[in-house]
Structure 1
Amino acid sequence: MTVGSQEALFLTLRSLRASPQDVVLAVAPTYFGLTGAARLLDMPVLDVGDAEGGLDLGVLERRVTAARARGHRPRALYLVPDFSNPTGVSLDLSTRVALLDLAAGDLPVPSRTSCR
């Protein structure tokens, strides 16, 4: 039990961060509580683009690939699929399914890279 979402984010990131190479990804702009929690842990937050108000899976693929090439280890993607803070965007069903498919496997991303 935590007293707030930022504390929960801090504890989650703390449990995921095993080395200085670990990073978290987030759609920009993102909840400032995530960036604050990550900053306390010296865990970089890599911005992922959105497309037409949703997650851009192509940008996600490129950011993960680039992070790995630099020796970083992506540990999580922070995403609020329903009424995201601060943008208010909600992901549609096709984007959610494509993201789950991507998470279940490995890169490459499905051919449909921009979803709303």
Structure 2
Amino acid sequence: MTLSFADLKTKAEQAEREKGQPFIAKDGKELFLRPLLHLNKAELKNALALVDVIQNDDTSFQLRLDAMDQMLIVAADRKKAMRDSVDNLPAEARMEIFKVWMEAAEGPEASDSTS
């Protein structure tokens, strides 16, 4: 089997669309929140550092919320629009965006329950 860059890129873009999350920003235009595994090297490194902040129970709520905001901005294909949006939303709404984005990246198999 021969691997090609073009084929792998097409496959990755399709998976990104399936596991990402569209969001209508404050400016009224759609932006796209990409799954973590579809970020470039620098973005992924930043996002993983933010995951550590979010998961640290010793970190203040405000710092954890700021880290969630930053992760959303890193994941967004339109970073300024995402920054403007999170800057103008209450904490509860920002947390909801984060939750929906994370659930979208998990895919349908993660939401299936056998209980």
Q: State the TM-score bracket (shorter-chain normalisation).
A: under 0.3
| Max Rg structure | 2
> TM-score w.r.t. structure 1 length?
0.28
The structure richer in strand per residue is 1
> TM-score w.r.t. structure 2 length?
0.28
